[in-house]
Amino acid sequence: MPPSSEGQPMGHEFIGIVEEAGREVSAVATGDFVIGPFAYSDNTCPICRDGFHTACLHGGFFSAAQAELLRGPQADGTLVVAPATEDEEMLKSLLTLSDVFLTGHHAAHMGRVGPGRA
Ligand SMILES: [Zn+2]
């Protein structure tokens, strides 16, 4: 990234505590610990139902998600509520579920990696 004299939030994956939920949000509530993937999606359109949330008809991609506050559009379809923890090692592990772990899992799935197959 180019240098910035004012600083710049970065990253597209995140974990955090919900500070406020919109009126139409039902699956996430204030105080929930959530994991957010790098793409937001409604989880209701035909493409999401086929499992391709990154191509959601109403979705998009986060940028600058590693910030103090983040607005999570399509919260019901995007955020995953998880048990809250303050264990730093667990938090680091949970953050991998927002991007890199799933990228690796998807690659292994698409490559049909399995026991006895590399
Ligand atoms: Zn969708």
pLDDT at 45: 98
In sign, the C-alpha dihedral spanning 63, 67, 72, 76 is positive
Q: What is the pLDDT of residues 81-93, one digit of tens each?
A: 999 989 999 998 9
* Domain annotation covers residue 118: no
Number of domains in the chain: 1
Q: How far is the CA of 117 from the centre of ligand 1 (A)?
A: 33
Question: In terms of Cα–Cα distance, which of 26, 32, 29 is closest to 77?
Answer: 26
Q: How far is the CA of 21 from the centre of ligand 1 (A)?
A: 20
CATH number of the domain that residue 104 is part of: 3.90.180.10
Q: How far is the CA of 51 from the centre of ligand 1 (A)?
A: 9
Contacts of 84 (CB under 8 A, 6+ apart): 17, 32, 33
Q: What is the pLDDT of residues 27-63, one digit of tens each?
A: 999 999 999 998 999 999 999 999 889 999 999 999 8
Q: How far is the CA of 18 from the centre of ligand 1 (A)?
A: 22
User: pLDDT-based confidence at 118, cuts 50/70/90?
Assistant: low
Domain that holds residue 106: 14-110
Q: How far is the CA of 104 from the centre of ligand 1 (A)?
A: 22
Q: What is the pTM of this model?
A: 0.82
Give the whole-angstrom CA distance, residue 40 versus residue 77. 7
* Domain annotation covers residue 116: no
